[in-house]
Amino acid sequence: MTTEKLRVLGVGYLNARPLWETLRETTDLVLDKPSEISRAIAEGEGDVALMPVAAAATLGGLEIVPDICIGARGKVRSVAIVSERPIEELEHLALDLSSRTSVVLGRLLLERRKLTPKLFGATPEDAIARVQGTTGALLIGDAALDVEARFPHRLDLAEDWMAWTGLPFVFAAWFGVPGRLSAEHVALLAQAKKDGRARIGEIAKDHAARSGLGEGSLRSYLTESIRYDLDEDAVRGLERFYAEAARARLLPKAEVRFAKPSVQVPEEVKPAKRSPSLDTLLARAADGERLSAADGVRLLREGSMFELGFAADAVRKRKHPEGVVTYIVDRNVNYTNVCTTSCRFCAFYRPVGHPEGYVLSREVLGQKLQEVVDAGGVQILLQGGLNPELPITWYEDLFRWMKSEYKLGLHALSPEEIIHLSRLENLSIRQVLERLHAAGLDSVPGGGAEILVDRVRRKIAKAKCTSSEWLGVMRVAHQMGLRSSGTMMYGTVDTMEDRIQHLVKLRDLQDETGGFTAFFCWDYQYEKGTRIQAGENGTHLYLRTQAVARLVLDNFDHVGASWVTQGPAVGQVALRFGADDFGSVMFEENVVSSAGTTFGINADKIEGRIHEAGFKATRRNVRYDWLTEPA
């Protein structure tokens, strides 16, 4: 095996540089931020990555390269909570979210001190600017080094970890995809570490020139604070961190498994530590432990329908011990079918100028809304195509009119439409959302997520926003206090790995914002006219997928059964597969009905089905508050 083909990824941070500095000459090295590296490994774009240990645990199934890490034995200097007041007095803590490992470490250390400041995400500059009074900041990297002497109170996280556990802390290491690393590759990484440490002087000088930080200070940071050797103590430190994070349900249970370079190991020799049995995994999942992406894929592939159902039902029962299933009376209104994205799976849209294109008039809308009010409905789900002829003022006027005339909840405009408006009007996402919020927007539907893996999105919906754009809209909406749902449409060109990756991305954002109310999924609904062929999906896969989603999305309160797309029979059975919500009594759903799936059942029938599945039923609003006594 030649080393040329090794695809190496690395975080671009200063403290990582000695480990990859010379690899630039010998491999196809790609440098990026941790989230991007984690994505690339998950999507099969790399063989080995220098990545934060928390990201590796979240992916699961990776092997660690021996002897190399980025760690600290005691004070690390570059990861610290800074504040004006003692840490015990902090009420708010701004988090630089760029390193999940440091965030998890920070949360563990706060938990140990029984401190519960309210956490919020921020950029490094914002975080520093917010430090005042009872608001502190968790800073990472240059930002932390930059303000080393600025604030009276500073908790160095690696030092505090050492004080707690007596062990070093490992921030990052090389993680390889099993079977991809040869002994030569491992030797190459070891050599790079040796060569790179010899160049620390140059690296410090270079970084000083770029950052304005002192060269001497940087040199001592890289030679004294950072430890590059993954020795026995460091391994124990990492194992302890994984154990503590799993106990606190901040990370999936992870093991330190060393890479067995493929050329050295005869085939009959199996790795010493085997992955847990499927039963163990199911039991952990049912118990609400955090699952890694690898765990999720394994469950989706190997878990039997019943095993997954029981585990998901156990989670549902723990989160909702009352045995109540909710549903909402609302109406899905598609205000326009004119759309510029031309997604291959969509039978609903019409291009601009098409004779069948429409925009609903106030008169038609008013009639529809009145019908919802008359039927005791509480909400309108308003979505449409990306119609370039409708400016943001059209939406603002519409929302104000709807709010003043009908007093219904307004669950409107999926991220795709928000992004469309921001481009059309040359406004930021935040500006668009703020204006719509001011005009009456209550919450954002999670449609258009499809599969949040760009390789898939490019194939099925080329013109649609990227995964990070979609998540970015939700992040801003959540930060503004708007809640949203999360969805997944699977069964086009996506793999099991893609589906799990999608769920993990939603889970990560939920960790950050807590803004998702519920998750719904459905399979791709084929019909003539859409341009993706039907595959083998079916009821069995739906039930298993929904169950696995319930298990992976440990930080989502609610999972809904999508009876509108799957039919009332599957929807009902799905209530035993982890769902605690039965979606809505819908008046219409043009997008799905264009693809041939139309189901209409009234509230009585919905309640009858909920009862027969063994639950009490109640109506809810978009925030999942009960509107009636469950019966």
Partner 1 sequence: MLDRIREKVRAGERLTFDDGVALFLEPDVLAVGQLANEVREKRHGDRTYFNKNMRLETTNVCVASCLFCSFAKLEEHMPGAHTMSLEDAWKELESRMDDPPSELHVVNGLHPGLPFSYYEDLLRGFKRIHPSIHLKCFTAVEIHFFAQHYGMTHREVLEKLMAAGLDSLPGGGAEIFHPEVRKKISDDKATADEYLEVHRVAHQLGMKTGVTMLYGHIETFAHRVDHMLRVRELQDETGGFQVFIPLAFHPDGNGMKNLPAPTAIDDLRTIAVSRLLLDNVDHIKSYWVASGPDVAQMALRFGADDIDGTIVHETIYKAANTASPGALAYEELVRLIREAGRIPIERDTFYNVVKEHPKAAVPEAALKVKDRERKPRTKLPIAKEVSS
Closest distance of CB 520 from partner 1, Å = 18
Closest distance of CB 428 from partner 1, Å = 32
Is residue 381 close enough to count as binding partner 1 by CB under 8 A?
A: no
Tokens 């009862």 -> residue: 611
Closest distance of CB 327 from partner 1, Å = 15
Is residue 501 close enough to count as binding partner 1 by CB under 8 A?
A: no
Tell me which of 94, 145, 158, 460 binds partner 1, using CB under 8 A.
Answer: 460
Is residue 491 close enough to count as binding partner 1 by CB under 8 A?
A: yes
Is residue 347 close enough to count as binding partner 1 by CB under 8 A?
A: yes
Distances 538 to 497, 548, 562, 608 between C-alpha atoms, Å: 19, 16, 13, 24
Q: Which is nearer to partner 1, 83 or 337 (CB)?
A: 337
Tell me which of 306, 388, 463, 602 binds partner 1, using CB under 8 A.
Answer: 306
The residues that bridge with 621 in the sheet, in sequence order, are none
Q: Are strands 79-83 and 135-140 parallel, antiparallel or unpaired?
A: antiparallel
Token output for 249: 């349900």
Q: How far apart are CA 240 and CA 165, in angstroms?
A: 8
Q: Which is nearer to partner 1, 13 or 524 (CB)?
A: 524
**DSSP assignment of 479-502, as one string?**
HTT-EEEEEEEESSS--HHHHHHH
Sole window of 139-147, 203-211, 428-436, 601-609 interacting with partner 1 (rule: CB under 8 A) = 601-609
Is residue 572 close enough to count as binding partner 1 by CB under 8 A?
A: yes
**DSSP assignment of 119-184, as one string?**
EEEE-HHHHHHH-BTTEEEEEETHHHHHTTTTSSEEEEHHHHHHHHHSS-EEEEEEEE-TT---HH
DSSP 8-state code for residue 552: H
Tell me which of 112, 210, 301, 623 binds partner 1, using CB under 8 A.
Answer: 301
Tell me which of 141, 196, 309, 486 binds partner 1, using CB under 8 A.
Answer: 309
Is residue 609 close enough to count as binding partner 1 by CB under 8 A?
A: yes
DSSP 8-state code for residue 465: P
Tell me which of 258, 358, 406, 624 binds partner 1, using CB under 8 A.
Answer: 358
Is residue 244 close enough to count as binding partner 1 by CB under 8 A?
A: no
Is residue 169 close enough to count as binding partner 1 by CB under 8 A?
A: no
Q: What's CA 49's distance to the chain center, in Å?
A: 20
Q: If DSSP codes are grouped into helix, strand and coil, which group holds residue 537?
A: coil
Is residue 360 close enough to count as binding partner 1 by CB under 8 A?
A: yes
Is residue 354 close enough to count as binding partner 1 by CB under 8 A?
A: yes
Q: How far apart are CA 410 and CA 291, in angstroms?
A: 34
**DSSP assignment of 345-402, as one string?**
T-SS-B-TT-TT--B--HHHHHHHHHHHHHTT--EEEEE----TT--HHHHHHHHHHH
Distances 454 to 295, 489, 526 between C-alpha atoms, Å: 22, 14, 21
Q: How far apart are CA 213 and CA 220, in angstroms?
A: 12
Q: Are strands 227-230 and 324-334 parallel, antiparallel or unpaired?
A: unpaired
**Direct distance between the N- and C-terminal alpha carbons of the chain, in angstroms, rounded to an integer:** 66
Q: How far apart are CA 602 and CA 599, in angstroms?
A: 10
Q: Is 8:181 a contact under the CB 8 Å cutoff?
A: no
Q: Which is nearer to partner 1, 30 or 532 (CB)?
A: 532
Is residue 496 close enough to count as binding partner 1 by CB under 8 A?
A: yes
User: How many chain residues interact with partner 1 (CB under 8 A)?
Assistant: 64
The residues that bridge with 616 in the sheet, in sequence order, are 324
Closest distance of CB 545 from partner 1, Å = 10
Q: Which is nearer to partner 1, 163 or 364 (CB)?
A: 364
Sole window of 272-280, 381-389, 511-519, 561-569 interacting with partner 1 (rule: CB under 8 A) = 561-569
Sole window of 46-54, 96-104, 140-148, 566-574 interacting with partner 1 (rule: CB under 8 A) = 566-574
Q: Which is nearer to partner 1, 129 or 569 (CB)?
A: 569
Sole window of 29-37, 309-317, 411-419, 502-510 interacting with partner 1 (rule: CB under 8 A) = 309-317
Closest distance of CB 390 from partner 1, Å = 17
Q: What's CA 541's distance to the chain center, in Å?
A: 22
Tell me which of 11, 127, 543, 559 binds partner 1, using CB under 8 A.
Answer: 543
Tell me which of 211, 217, 342, 431 binds partner 1, using CB under 8 A.
Answer: 342
**Phi and psi torsions of 257, nearest 5°:** -115, 120
Closest distance of CB 498 from partner 1, Å = 8
Token output for 302: 């190997």
Sole window of 122-130, 161-169, 424-432, 539-547 interacting with partner 1 (rule: CB under 8 A) = 539-547
Closest distance of CB 355 from partner 1, Å = 11
Sole window of 142-150, 274-282, 302-310, 388-396 interacting with partner 1 (rule: CB under 8 A) = 302-310
Is residue 86 close enough to count as binding partner 1 by CB under 8 A?
A: no
Q: Which is nearer to partner 1, 150 or 462 (CB)?
A: 462
- Residues contacting 420, CB < 8 A, separation 6+: 386
Closest distance of CB 367 from partner 1, Å = 9
The amino acid sitting at 200 is I
Residue 222: CB atoms within 10 Å: 21
Tell me which of 123, 569, 600, 623 binds partner 1, using CB under 8 A.
Answer: 569
Token output for 5: 């083909």
Tell me which of 590, 603, 616, 624 binds partner 1, using CB under 8 A.
Answer: 590
Q: Which is nearer to partner 1, 144 or 372 (CB)?
A: 372
Tell me which of 344, 403, 455, 616 binds partner 1, using CB under 8 A.
Answer: 344
Tell me which of 267, 528, 629, 631 binds partner 1, using CB under 8 A.
Answer: 528
Tokens 């590796």 -> residue: 56
Name which of residues 310 to 329 contact partner 1 (CB under 8 A). Answer: 310, 313
The residues that bridge with 411 in the sheet, in sequence order, are 381, 443
Residues that bind partner 1 (CB under 8 A): 301, 305-306, 309-310, 313, 334, 337, 342, 344, 347-348, 350-351, 354, 356, 358, 360, 364, 459-460, 491-496, 498, 527-541, 543, 566-570, 572-573, 576, 588, 590, 593-594, 596, 598, 605, 608-609, 612-614
